[in-house]
Amino acid sequence: MTLEQLYYIGELAGVIVVAITLIFLTVQVRQNTRALRSSAAQNAHEMAEAIYHPVIADSALAELVVRGIRDPDALTEVETAQFTSFWQNGFFAMQNWFYQRQEGVLDEGIWWGWSKILIDITQTPGIRRFWEHRRHYFSNDFRAYLGTELSTRKPSPEYRPLGTSPLPPAPGFKA
């Protein structure tokens, strides 16, 4: 066997090793992507549970949130602070999900469900007031998304804030 033949055999072996490595890496990336998406979905559900659990567990907080959604002027200063904190936490979670969706980590179907809730809840007077006073704490991308979505999508006709009786839509929304 000549030196040239050995060279070509070495080249061929190198190409085979590189091809096997690329196949292995492709499989690993796909498995990692599935695991990442699964983890993001689990995290979104856990965050949602953490947001809703206090309302489920505390009827006084549930009453305050419902009153605040309907008529923010009816809340005391302390109640307004509680209402604002509750929704600040919720909107930060939704902003997180928004970014996970943009990065392709959060499943589109999961995001779609939360975006419907987001669009619907922003039709209420209390959330409109909350957003007017707190929107500057959120990213430009999230604010732009809300501005675009709220101007192009209509709320669900059957929407009932947190399962309560329906409300008429609140006036204008500013991103």
Is residue 168 assigned to a domain? no
pLDDT band for 151, please (50, 70, 90 cuts). Answer: low
Token couple for 150: 């709220």
- Which pLDDT value is given to residue 75? 96
How far, rounded to the nearest angstrom, does the alpha carbon of residue 93 sit from its chain's CA centroid?
Answer: 6
Task: Return the beta strands (E) in the chain as ranges.
Answer: none
Band of pLDDT at residue 171, cut at 50, 70 and 90: low
Residue 66 lies in a domain: yes
- The angle at the Cα of 154, spanning 127 to 152, to the nearest 5 degrees, equals 100
What mean pLDDT is predicted for residues 118-134? Answer: 88
Instruction: Determine contact, residues 72/125, Cβ cutoff 8 Å.
Output: yes
Whether 170 maps to a domain, the answer reads no
* Count of domains for the chain: 1
In a domain, 171, yes or no: no
Residue 37 placed within a domain: yes
Q: Does residue 173 sit within a domain? A: no
Minimum mean pLDDT range among 34-43, 76-85, 109-118, 119-128: 34-43
Q: Does residue 72 register a pLDDT over 80?
A: yes
Output the CA–CA distances (angstroms, integers) from residue 21 to 15, 26, 35, 88, in the order listed.
Answer: 10, 9, 21, 47
By the 8 A CB rule, do 98 and 143 touch?
Answer: no
Whether 101 is in a domain gets the answer yes
Residue 60: what pLDDT? 93
Contact 101, 114 (CB under 8 A): no
Q: What's residue 123's pLDDT? A: 81
Choose the weakest-confidence range: 14-23, 24-33, 78-87, 128-137: 24-33
Residue 134 pLDDT: 94
Domain presence at residue 38: yes
Average pLDDT score over the chain:
84
130 pLDDT band (50/70/90 cuts)?
A: very high
Tokens of 143: 């604010």
Model confidence at 137, pLDDT cuts 50, 70, 90, reads very high
Q: What is the average per-residue pLDDT within 17-46?
A: 79
- The predicted model scores a pTM of 0.72
- pLDDT score, position 167: 62
Torsion angle of C-alpha atoms 65, 68, 70, 73, degrees rounded to 10: 170
Domain span at residue 25 reads: 3-163
